[in-house]
Amino acid sequence: MLVLEQVDAHYGKSHVLHGVSIEVRAGEVVGLLGRNGVGKTTTLKAIMGMARRSAGRITFEGRDLQGVPPHGLAGLGIAWVPEERRIFRLLTVLENLRTGLDRSGITPPRREALLEKVYAYFPILRERRNQPGGTLSGGEQQMLAIARAMMLEPKIILLDEPTEGLMPRMVAQIQEIVHALHRDGVAILLVEQNVPLTLDAAERVYIMEKGAVRHHASSAELRADQRVIHEYLGV
């Protein structure tokens, strides 16, 4: 469904990605592991059209994303949950969700159903719905970022380090929502540093180093043979 072929990307003046090839099939959860600064986030930004691409092709459901404007990706079914969460801090929780809900072709009952769905997953967001997003705790902001992406009814979510800096209880909740999205048939490209969580959630894992994919295996293989993990991640 989402295919990156030999992608080279630049961030500012630095050449960050070197021939990255990744594929995510419909409904599949794929992990992207690697240490800090190896280009995981840039890979997601390249998909979102935010990093300058000098070579390679990115296609979604067979369509080249080259000519698609940045605001056109949501309509195709690609949602982004950035590492920094990027909550609209002065907008209330509900208004944050509305940025994804106020689109054409969505009926009022469908809107209600979507809101009810995320409120069921994250009851705290219902409680805080009239509170500015900036006043939420880090974990709550992460939930809001994921909930906001879900408002787009995406086919794939690009999830960037969702558990970074969260306490264990929150991590468990995020893990649960990843499973729930997977059950609903939403594909996920999961960027993480948390190896156990990634191996648990993803079917396949790509491991990156220095801006390139070094290893690609199923989670089962990696669980059975931890040497690769040691080699590239040092854990």
Partner 1 sequence: MDQVLVQTLHGLVNGMVLAMVASGLTLIFGIMDIVNFAHGDLLMLGAFVGASVLGMTGNYWLALLAASIAIAALGAILQITTLRPLIGRDPLTTILATFGLSLVMQKYALWQWGPSVRRISEPVPGDFTLFHIQYPWYRIATAVLAGLILAGLWLFLKYGKYGIWIRATTQDRVMAQAMGIPVPLVYTAVFAIGSAMAAASGVLFGPFAGVTQTMGFDFTLRAFIVVVVGGMGNLGGSILASIFVSLLESYAAIVVSPAQAVIVSFVVLVLTMLFRPTGLFVPTPK
Compute the least distance from the CB of residue 100 to partner 1, in Å: 5
Q: Does 103 bind partner 1 (CB under 8 A)?
A: yes
Q: How far apart are CA 35 and CA 107, in angstroms?
A: 43
Q: Does 153 bind partner 1 (CB under 8 A)?
A: no
- Of 98 and 215, nearer to partner 1 (C-beta) is 98
Strands 29-33 and 204-209: parallel
- Of 109 and 234, nearer to partner 1 (C-beta) is 109
What does the radius of gyration of the chain's CA atoms come to, in whole angstroms?
17
Options 29-37, 60-68, 74-82, 188-196: segment touching partner 1 (CB under 8 A): 74-82
Distance from first CA to last CA of the chain, Å, rounded?
A: 31
Options 85-93, 110-118, 201-209, 220-228: segment touching partner 1 (CB under 8 A): 85-93
Q: How far apart are CA 231 and CA 214, in angstroms?
A: 11
| Count of residues engaged in binding partner 1, rule: CB under 8 A | 25
- x/- mask, partner 1, residues 27-66, rule CB under 8 A, reads ---------------------x-x----------------
Q: Does 152 bind partner 1 (CB under 8 A)?
A: yes
- Of 70, 108, 109, 168, the one binding partner 1 (CB under 8 A) is 70
Q: Which residues bind partner 1 (CB under 8 A)?
A: 48, 50, 69-75, 79-80, 82, 86, 88-91, 95, 98-100, 102-103, 148, 152
